[in-house]
């Protein structure tokens, strides 16, 4: 009687696959002489069976290698997207620092009355390109990529350690206990990530802020970190930590609670659910954006840059004073929150 087991290639030995095999599962014949073999815990057509390789009647798992490839692909895709969008991030940081190289044009906007129409991000990007060249648009790119890679590695590590969160939905349950646990885990993850990425954010902000005074104080990532540490100490890296943490925690709390309540009492219709998440996310981000502005302003405090000089920005000893000054005096508490079609009341610009 002929053996139904598939023949092994001379080059395909079990010893040759021992290094890459995570687990080996014995197979049983599920066909009448058709040579089809299946693991005890697998079923025909199951994706897990198709994803692994049949070698000598045994399934060799390649999950570890596949996972590494997926992580590398995600990191590469993130680097590409960050590089593509960096000019917009560059313009947004300059807006948050209050840099307005062009005067606003006064326009009538119906019931809103006269308002200053400020140049959008596309005009600021063109101005940077015209002033310092194409590569000036990519100041701080290395720090931004380092931030994203650090965040991705932290998310992956915490998921492996069991500190992973879930997205609430109609079938996942939305009890107070589940929501509280989810917010606690997300809060811990946000805090840990911000502790690690805040120094890189300071480097990112200061390298971009050099454009305001046409300076070249901060060059590479390593040189910037060493220079800030030697001249200002470790406290300079965390001047804007608290407002950023409050902003991120507030955004997380609002979106989590809103999603939980909506899935509990709202209609079970996907388009409406997706629209709800989009509206809540954008609204929460806009409302809490002043805390991001405060964090960006505090990142340059104490630096020798022109962006931190009294002619450009007042000196703040604490982030609460910066927050109060932005709200009470300047009125630009949402600057950088909208990159295009930017308008401000005339009285706020003239104040």
User: Cα–Cα distance between 187 and 208 in angstroms, integer?
Assistant: 29
50 vs 209, which has greater pLDDT? Answer: 209
Instruction: Give the mean pLDDT of 204-227.
Output: 91
87 and 131 inside one domain: yes
Angle among Cα 139, 294, 252 to the nearest 5 degrees reads 95
Q: Which one of 16, 40, 61 terminates a domain?
A: 61
187: domain CATH number is: 1.50.40.10
Q: What percent of the chain has pLDDT over 70?
A: 74
Range of the domain at 46: 1-61
Instruction: Give the mean pLDDT of 76-103.
Output: 89
Strands (E), 43-138: 53-55, 58-60, 105-108, 114-118
Q: Please identify which residue in the block is written with the tokens 């997205």.
A: 167
81 and 219 inside one domain: yes
Q: What is the pLDDT of residues 112-140, one digit of tens each?
A: 677 778 888 888 899 999 988 898 899 99
Instruction: Give the count of domains, the chain.
Output: 2
Run of H or E including 24: strand 24-29
pLDDT higher than threshold 70 for residue 246: yes
Q: What is the DSSP letter of 329?
A: I
Run of H or E including 249: helix 241-265
Q: What is the DSSP letter of 343?
A: E
The pLDDT assigned to 51 comes to 43
**56 pLDDT tier (thresholds 50, 70, 90):** very low
158 and 306 inside one domain: yes
92 and 190 inside one domain: yes
Q: Which one of 40, 61, 82 terminates a domain?
A: 61
Sequence-distant (6+) residues with CB within 8 A of 130 are none
173 and 50 inside one domain: no
Q: Which residues of 205-242 are buried (b: 16+ CB within 10 A; e: fewer)?
A: bbbbbbbbbeeebbeebeebbebbeeebeeebbbbbbb
93 and 218 inside one domain: yes
28 and 148 inside one domain: no
343 and 260 inside one domain: yes
154 vs 41, which has greater pLDDT? Answer: 154
Is residue 213 helix, strand or coil?
A: coil
**88 pLDDT tier (thresholds 50, 70, 90):** very high
Q: What is the pLDDT of residues 266-286, one digit of tens each?
A: 777 778 878 888 888 888 888
16 and 115 inside one domain: no
pLDDT higher than threshold 80 for residue 47: no
291 and 325 inside one domain: yes
107 and 8 inside one domain: no
45 and 124 inside one domain: no
Q: Which one of 13, 39, 61 terminates a domain?
A: 61
CA dihedral 174, 178, 179, 180 (to 10 degrees): 150
């Amino acid at each position: 009687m002929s053996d139904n087991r598939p023949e092994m290639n001379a080059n395909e030995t079990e010893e040759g696959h021992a290094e890459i095999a995570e687990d080996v599962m014995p197979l049983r014949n599920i066909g009448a002489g058709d040579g089809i073999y299946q693991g005890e815990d697998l079923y025909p057509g199951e994706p897990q069976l198709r994803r692994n390789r049949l070698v000598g009647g045994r399934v060799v798992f390649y999950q570890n290698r596949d996972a590494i490839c997926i992580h590398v692909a995600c990191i590469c895709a993130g680097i590409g997207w960050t590089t593509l969008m960096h000019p917009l991030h560059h313009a947004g940081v300059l807006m948050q620092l209050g840099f307005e190289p062009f005067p606003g044009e006064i326009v009538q906007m119906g019931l809103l009355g006269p308002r200053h129409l400020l140049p959008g991000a596309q005009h600021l990007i063109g101005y940077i390109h015209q002033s310092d060249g194409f590569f000036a648009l990519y100041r701080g790119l290395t720090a931004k990529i380092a931030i994203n890679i650090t965040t991705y590695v932290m998310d992956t590590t915490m998921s492996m350690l069991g500190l992973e969160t879930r997205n609430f939905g109609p079938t996942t349950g939305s009890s107070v206990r589940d929501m509280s646990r989810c917010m606690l885990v997300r809060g811990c993850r946000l805090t840990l990530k911000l502790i690690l990425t805040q120094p890189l954010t300071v480097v990112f902000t200061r390298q971009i802020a050099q454009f305001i005074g046409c300076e070249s104080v901060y060059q590479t990532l390593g040189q910037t970190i060493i220079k800030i540490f030697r001249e200002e100490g470790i406290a300079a890296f965390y001047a804007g930590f608290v407002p950023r943490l409050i902003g991120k925690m507030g955004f997380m709390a609002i979106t989590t609670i809103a999603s939980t309540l909506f899935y509990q009492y709202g209609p079970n219709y996907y388009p409406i659910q997706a629209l709800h998440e989009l509206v809540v996310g954008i609204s929460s981000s806009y409302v809490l954006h002043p805390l991001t502005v405060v964090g960006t302003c505090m990142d340059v405090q104490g630096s020798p840059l022109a962006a931190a000089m009294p002619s450009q920005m007042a000196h703040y000893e604490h982030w609460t004073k910066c927050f109060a000054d932005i709200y009470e005096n300047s009125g630009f508490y949402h600057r950088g929150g909208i990159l295009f079609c930017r308008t401000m009341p005339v009285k706020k610009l003239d104040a």
